[in-house]
Amino acid sequence: MPNLNEPVLKEMREEAATTRRVLERVPDSKLTWKPHPKSITLGQLAYHIALIATGIPRILDSDHFDLPPTAFTFVQPKDTAEILAMFNDGVRTGEAFVTGLTDQKWNATWHMSAQGKQIIARPRGEMVRQLMMSHLYHHRGQLCVYLRLLDVPVPSVYGPSADESPFV
């Protein structure tokens, strides 16, 4: 009988290749650009995406995580190579963490709080899906919009983009 984490591992591996293609399009010359004064910069968004898989083991390894006040501080990278290096490390770290999860740990309830107030309590496996996978997809979609606004060719993600088609 397969482990509960096997479908997520398969998805992680497939989506990592797609995310890497999007991150590779981020131009060094536009890292400080942002589409709106309330938005984070292109570089901060790309670096945040790169950090997602690295942060998951740190957040989900124990049964409880207290969200620090600095949780939503965004790093401004110096270049796209730094973003890609962080992403590649994150993919390895995240995959190793998910591979090591037993079914018991996958199903165990995980808790997150902020300033002593519980925010969420769910099975760890659900949080891997939400914090790692869905979170990544959300921000990758944002990044594709940033690229479009900068007139950078957007790669195919799940089908053709206006710039690229996997079917030709």
**Can you tell me the mean pLDDT for 3-17?**
89
pLDDT digit string, tens, across residues 149-160 = 999 999 999 999
Task: Report the 10 Å Cβ neighbour count for 68.
Answer: 10
94-129 pLDDT, tens digit each: 999 999 999 999 999 999 999 889 999 999 999 988
Confidence (pTM):
0.92
Q: Give CA 103 to chain center in angstroms.
A: 23
Tell me: pLDDT of 1 over 80: no
Which residue type occupies 104?
Answer: Q
Closest listed residue to residue 112, CA positions, set 74, 62, 72, 70: 62
φ/ψ of 97, rounded to 5, equals -65, -50
Q: Given this model, what pLDDT does residue 2 score?
A: 67
Place of tokens 């994150």: 90
Assigned token pair, 26: 């981020």
Give the residue-averaged pLDDT of 22-48. Answer: 98
pLDDT at 17 over 80: yes
CB-based contacts of 75, cutoff 8 Å, min separation 6: 44, 47, 48, 51
Domain boundaries, the chain: 6-149
Q: What pairs with residue 112 in β-bridges? A: 65, 120
| φ, ψ for residue 114, nearest 5 deg | -140, 125
CATH fold for the domain made of 6-149: Four Helix Bundle (Hemerythrin (Met), subunit A) (1.20.120)
